[in-house]
């Protein structure tokens, strides 16, 4: 006897609900990562009782611990996601539980050790939500709509990057630590409910809900079926996804290495285009982490800002991301990732150098610093999508040319796990390098060294 379909099957498995759930998950991860940034210096002084000369190194260290944990756990998350043929929902939920525990420990922790452990749990959660979440999006919309869908999600979660430091500073000023973490727990509750309700397309198809196509398969599965059927109807498509002359370029010979069989995406790393895309992600993350690590201390040291004012100054950097991110992603879809990457990174060279103009002072210097941050925000918006779009394209070509090599789900979760690992490595390096350079050389000279690294 067939099982009766779950309640609300149609809307719970709809593309809109699945993409929204992943978007909320990524938003929650970024929000809870960013909400602690403006209050970390005050937490370390008021609760842990560190001296002021120890603050920058500990702020940078706590940011780096989060990223380091994500580096270690992203590849395993990708392997697990690609090998789970039944459902990606369980590991998606486990990642949220890790985030809940991390939030509680950050609220209750009274020592550096507890705070470090909490940031490790946050890093594990980030590895899971970014790796499995993006793979779930691909399962739902297919590779043809991946760029525009990811662009829309990134535009939405940029609001989290903007809102988290601002709200963290505002709520801490008005309601203290309890208010800040209460806000985080409320967002976690919404995220948990949506992840519980989610039903994947392939699960819905078992109950006869043929949403994606006549056979009820997900978009990704339909693409694979079309590849296997190629030319059986007596004529070929006018513009096939992979032209015959391209097949040899992406064809993978028989591989016996155990490491490649366990983690097949490793073979794709022979492609210089994929390596370049991952390098761009590393540089992007390093720059983001540099801003996260230095803006709070610069606001405190140069302008005597409170936590509220430190949170508000993040608006100058994040607002261009919110406005420009979706537009830049649309242009990448239309013109390709290379022009955007060349322009974005080239633009950031003078923008970063101009940060040397920041000086301690009053209102005039605050306006100058905010204007300089906004200029850098424009550049960060432009470089936000080229790396992931280009990497996805390369791996899609390998998958289409070798459908049996990567398994039923393809190598996409492994790709996003690898991308998350590289991005997290940048988040780890950024605070350590920028914090140390700022302490030794000062803020202006630190930005000069960061620019030099960007040029290289």
What stretches of 123-276 adopt beta strand conformation (E)?
none
> pLDDT tens-digit profile of 405-429?
877 777 888 888 888 888 878 877 8
Angstrom CA distances, 380 to 160, 285, 288, stand at 15, 10, 8
Spatial distance between the Cα atoms of 83 and 322, rounded to a whole number of angstroms:
35
> pLDDT tens-digit profile of 247-306?
668 888 776 677 777 788 888 888 999 999 999 989 888 888 888 778 888 898 899 988
Report the C-alpha dihedral over residues 326, 328, 332, 334, rounded to 10 degrees: 80
Higher-scoring residue by pLDDT: 186, 310? 186
Q: Which of 74-88, 332-346, 361-375 has the lowest mean pLDDT?
A: 74-88
pLDDT score recorded for residue 343: 92
Higher-scoring residue by pLDDT: 203, 349? 349
pLDDT score recorded for residue 223: 54
Length of the chain: 456
144 Cβ contact partners less than 8 Å away, ≥ 6 residues apart: 219
- Residue written as token pair 């099957």: 9
Spatial distance between the Cα atoms of 139 and 19, rounded to a whole number of angstroms:
10
* CA-closest candidate to residue 159, choices 330, 283, 26, 337: 26
The answer to whether 119 and 65 are in contact (CB under 8 A) is yes
Spatial distance between the Cα atoms of 26 and 181, rounded to a whole number of angstroms:
18
- Residue written as token pair 């398994």: 407
Listed ranges 167-176, 196-205, 407-416, 426-435; the one with the highest mean pLDDT? 196-205
State both tokens at 401.
């040319």
18 pLDDT band, cuts 50/70/90, is: very high
Side-chain-side CA neighbours of residue 28 (13 Å): 35
pLDDT score recorded for residue 260: 78
Spatial distance between the Cα atoms of 235 and 253, rounded to a whole number of angstroms:
28
């Amino acid at each position: 006897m067939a099982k009766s379909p779950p309640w609300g099957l149609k809307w719970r498995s709809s593309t809109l609900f699945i993409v929204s759930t992943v978007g909320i998950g990524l938003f929650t991860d970024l929000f809870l990562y960013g909400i602690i940034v403006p209050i970390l210096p005050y937490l370390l002084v008021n609760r842990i009782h560190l001296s002021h000369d120890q603050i920058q190194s500990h702020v940078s260290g706590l940011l780096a611990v989060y990223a380091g944990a994500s580096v270690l756990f992203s590849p395993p998350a990708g392997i697990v996601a690609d090998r789970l043929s039944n459902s990606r929902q369980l590991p998606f939920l486990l990642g949220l539980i890790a985030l809940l525990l991390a939030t509680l420990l950050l609220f209750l922790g009274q020592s550096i050790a507890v705070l470090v452990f909490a940031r490790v749990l946050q890093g594990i959660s980030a590895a899971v939500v970014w790796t499995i979440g993006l793979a779930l999006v691909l399962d739902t919309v297919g590779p043809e709509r991946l760029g525009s869908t990811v662009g829309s999600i990134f535009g939405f979660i940029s609001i989290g990057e903007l809102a988290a430091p601002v709200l963290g500073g505002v709520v801490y000023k008005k309601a203290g630590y309890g208010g800040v973490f209460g806000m985080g727990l409320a967002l976690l509750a919404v995220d948990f409910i949506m992840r519980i309700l989610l039903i994947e397309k392939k699960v819905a198809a078992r109950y006869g809900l043929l949403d994606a196509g006549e056979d009820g398969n997900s978009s990704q599965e339909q693409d694979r079926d079309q590849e296997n059927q190629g030319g059986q109807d007596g004529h070929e498509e006018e513009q096939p996804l992979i032209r015959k002359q391209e097949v040899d370029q992406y064809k993978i010979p028989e591989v016996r290495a155990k490491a490649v069989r366990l983690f097949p995406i490793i073979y794709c790393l022979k492609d210089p285009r994929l390596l370049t895309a991952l390098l761009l992600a590393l540089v992007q993350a390093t720059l983001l982490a540099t801003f996260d690590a230095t803006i709070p201390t610069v606001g405190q040291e140069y302008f005597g800002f409170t936590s509220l004012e430190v949170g508000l100054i993040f608006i100058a950097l994040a607002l261009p991301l919110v406005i420009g991110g979706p537009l830049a992603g649309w242009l990448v879809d239309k013109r390709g990732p290379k022009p955007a990457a060349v322009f974005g990174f080239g633009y950031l060279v003078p923008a970063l150098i101009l940060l040397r103009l920041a000086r301690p002072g009053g209102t005039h210097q605050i306006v100058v610093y905010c204007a300089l941050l906004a200029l850098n925000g424009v550049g960060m918006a432009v470089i936000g999508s080229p790396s992931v779009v280009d990497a996805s394209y390369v791996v899609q070509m390998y998958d289409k040319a070798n459908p049996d090599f990567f398994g039923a789900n393809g190598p996409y979760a492994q790709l996003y796990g690898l991308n998350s690992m590289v991005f997290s490595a940048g988040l780890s390096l950024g605070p350590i390098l920028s914090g140390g350079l700022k302490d030794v050389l000062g803020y202006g000279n630190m930005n000069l060294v960061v620019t030099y690294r960007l040029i290289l």
